[in-house]
């Protein structure tokens, strides 16, 4: 049985997305995986999903976990987090963010901890061990 209904991947690297998607699928931790190659489309998705939540009254359309890359063009991971802060509190309270990045910069780790909804910081590549060890 899946632990989560929806998981979202946000990474501009399509190969990383494909690999991470396969790892998530093989770990059987969720029913659905939504993949975005940029922060802007992910924010729009969350806004639209929230409108559905308002109408239907259930969080079924929102991801419980968002795996977020830091280094992306147009809107990087921290810019995404700043936009995420502007979303309704029901999204912020429901969706937990896991930074999934190749960054080993201690400043990035420290900076991500300033956001209360960032629950973990994982270095790429994602692994079954990372997934089963999530403490959200």
Which domains does the chain carry? 4-132 (3.40.50.2300)
CA dist., res. 20 & res. 12, Å (int): 12
Residue 49: what pLDDT? 86
What pLDDT score was predicted for residue 90?
Answer: 86
pLDDT of residue 125: 85
pLDDT at 19: 95
CA of 89: how far to CAs of 1, 47, 63, 85, 131, in Å?
28, 12, 14, 8, 25
Which residues neighbour 55 within 8 Å (Cβ) at sequence distance 6 or greater?
none
Q: How far apart are CA 97 and CA 93, in angstroms?
A: 10
| Per-residue pLDDT, 57 | 60
Measure the CA–CA gap between 87 and 121, rounded to whole angstroms. 22
Cα 52 to Cα 77: distance, rounded to the nearest angstrom: 25
Q: Which residues of the chain have pLDDT under 50?
A: 1
- How high is the pLDDT of residue 33? 96
Tell me what pLDDT residue 59 has: 58
């Amino acid at each position: 049985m899946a632990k989560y209904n929806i998981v979202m991947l946000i990474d501009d690297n399509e190969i990383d997305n494909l690999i991470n998607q396969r790892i998530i699928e093989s770990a059987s931790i969720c029913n659905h995986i939504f993949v975005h190659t940029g922060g802007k489309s992910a924010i729009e998705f969350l806004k639209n999903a929230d409108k559905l939540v308002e109408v239907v009254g259930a969080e079924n359309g929102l991801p419980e976990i968002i795996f977020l890359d830091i280094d992306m063009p147009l809107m990087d991971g921290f810019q995404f987090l700043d936009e995420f802060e502007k979303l309704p509190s029901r999204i912020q309270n429901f969706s937990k963010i896991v930074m999934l990045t190749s960054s080993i910069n201690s400043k990035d780790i420290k900076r991500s901890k300033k956001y209360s909804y960032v629950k973990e910081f994982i270095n790429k590549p994602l692994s079954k061990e990372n997934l089963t060890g999530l403490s959200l």
